[in-house]
Structure formats: structure tokens, C-alpha cells
């Protein structure tokens, strides 16, 4: 499949920056996507281990899967039936109950907050609407290019995970920023790859992160919800 880069118009880009900002009220700060388990188990104790964890997720784990789902929602934003089926598929792929809640809660919060920018797309979205599906469909309806959306989405994912590590490892702000800077080439490559993929290409092997997500609910002491 050939990939064509389309630049996002300035006003739409402003919306993308707002929607994927840590300050946008989706409640993502309350979830760790299993990272809290890995930190509690001692598997992630420094910047190098965190970077490796994120690299694995971007290439072979939940981040990769979510990016493909987002891309499909972007392509199908005008079809309510296909968006509903995609939402069901997204939930079926979630490895743990807490991850299901995370995707649905953050997705519905995103839809509610993004409705400040009126669009007919909101009438076509399923409820609940998983986070990747919501972002992909709303971004497409607002004329935001798929590649730009994917870069912003994967960057926000990494930023949220780094924020978890800064609080729990503990990891300093400087080391956290170094991890993010080091991931820039991979984020860009992962976005390009996801844009060219379809649902037939989904097949993650992020077993460690999936098991961590499942085990999170058994932690004796928890700060995050997943």
C-alpha cells in the first residue's frame, strides 16, 4: 500500500495539539496501562528499562495495535456501522478488564470534550467509544491528516507512560525527557507504518505488557487505575 503524506491545515493542527495535550480532560493521567505493575515488580528501575518497555509497545504491543485501530477509524469516519464494529473489535482485543475501562472512559471523555468543536461525526460514534476509535474518527472529520494524528497519538502515549515512571520509579524530569527525545525516530516510523496497515495486519506480541495489565488489579497498593 502506498503512503501519501498530506499536510494538516493550521486550524486543524491547533485542534490536534489541544486534543492530544496532557491538559485535555480525558483523565489519561489516572491510568498506567500495566506500567505500574512492571515498576512494582522491579522490571523498570531506570531510563534505559523504560525506553525498552516503550520501544516494545510501539513496535509489537498495545500502542502498535491502537495505532492501527486509530488509522482504520480515520478512514471510516463517515460510516457509523463500521465505526461501531471497529469499537467492538477494539474492546475484544483488550487483554484485561481494566484496559477495557481505560479505553472506554478516556474515549468517552475525549468525545465529550472534543464536542466543543461541533461536528456531525459525533452523531456517528458508538457509545462507549474506545479512545483510539474516537481520536481517529474525530481527527478525520476535522481534516487532520492521518500521519499527523498518529504522530501526536503515539507521542502522547509515550509522554503519559513517562509521566507514570517519573512518579513511580522515581525517574527525574531530565531523564524522562531524554527517553522521549530518544524515541522520536521510532514514533515517526511507527506512525508511518500504522498509516499503511489495515486490520488484517494486527498481531501483537507484547506479552509482558499484556500480563502486567492483567496483574495490575492484584497489586497490594495501587496509585493508577490500570
DSSP secondary structure of 99-140: HHHHHHHHHHHHHHHHTTS--GGGGT--SS--HHHHHHHHHH
DSSP 63-92: HHHHHHHHHHHHHTTT-HHHHHHHHHHHHH
Residue 5 confidence (pLDDT) = 45
Q: What is the DSSP letter of 39?
A: H
- What's the number of CA atoms in the CB half-sphere (13 Å) around residue 193? 17
SS3 category, 213: helix
Per-residue pLDDT tens over the stretch 127-170: 999 999 999 999 999 999 999 999 999 999 999 999 999 999 99
Question: Would you say the pTM of this structure is higher than 0.75?
Answer: yes
**Distance from C-alpha of 49 to C-alpha of 153, rounded to nearest angstrom:** 22
Residue 137 confidence (pLDDT) = 98
Residue 8 confidence (pLDDT) = 65
Of 3-12, 15-24, 135-144, the poorest mean pLDDT is in 3-12
**Distance from C-alpha of 58 to C-alpha of 111, rounded to nearest angstrom:** 24
Residue 166 confidence (pLDDT) = 96
Q: What is the DSSP letter of 24?
A: S
Contact, 171 vs 49, CB < 8 A? no
List, in order of start, the domains of the chain with CATH numbers.
31-215 (1.10.4190.10)
**Distance from C-alpha of 153 to C-alpha of 120, rounded to nearest angstrom:** 22
Residue 120 pLDDT > 60: yes
Residue 2 confidence (pLDDT) = 41
Q: Which three cell numbers stand for residue 53?
A: 518497555
Per-residue pLDDT tens over the stretch 196-213: 999 999 987 888 888 999
**Distance from C-alpha of 190 to C-alpha of 59, rounded to nearest angstrom:** 7
Amino acid at each position: 500500500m502506498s503512503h501519501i503524506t498530506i499536510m494538516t491545515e493550521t486550524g486543524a493542527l491547533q485542534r490536534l495539539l489541544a486534543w492530544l495535550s496532557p491538559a485535555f480532560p480525558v483523565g489519561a493521567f489516572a491510568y498506567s496501562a500495566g506500567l505500574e505493575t512492571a515498576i512494582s515488580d522491579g522490571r523498570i528501575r531506570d531510563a534505559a528499562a523504560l525506553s525498552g518497555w516503550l520501544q516494545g509497545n510501539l513496535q509489537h504491543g498495545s500502542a502498535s495495535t491502537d495505532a492501527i485501530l486509530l488509522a482504520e477509524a480515520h478512514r471510516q469516519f463517515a460510516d457509523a456501522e463500521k465505526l461501531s464494529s471497529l469499537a467492538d473489535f477494539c474492546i475484544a482485543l483488550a487483554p484485561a478488564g481494566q484496559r477495557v475501562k481505560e479505553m472506554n472512559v478516556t474515549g468517552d471523555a475525549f468525545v465529550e470534550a472534543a464536542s466543543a468543536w461541533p461536528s456531525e461525526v459525533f452523531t456517528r460514534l458508538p457509545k462507549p467509544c474506545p479512545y483510539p476509535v474516537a481520536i481517529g474518527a474525530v481527527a478525520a472529520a476535522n481534516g487532520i491528516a492521518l500521519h499527523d494524528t498518529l504522530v501526536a497519538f503515539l507521542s502522547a502515549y509515550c509522554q503519559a507512560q513517562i509521566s507514570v515512571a517519573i512518579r513511580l520509579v522515581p525517574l527525574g524530569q531530565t531523564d524522562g525527557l531524554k527517553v522521549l527525545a530518544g524515541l522520536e525516530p521510532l514514533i515517526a516510523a511507527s506512525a508511518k507504518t500504522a498509516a499503511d496497515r489495515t486490520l488484517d495486519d494486527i498481531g501483537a506480541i507484547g506479552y509482558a505488557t499484556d500480563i502486567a495489565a492483567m496483574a495490575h488489579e492484584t497489586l497490594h497498593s495501587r496509585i493508577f487505575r490500570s
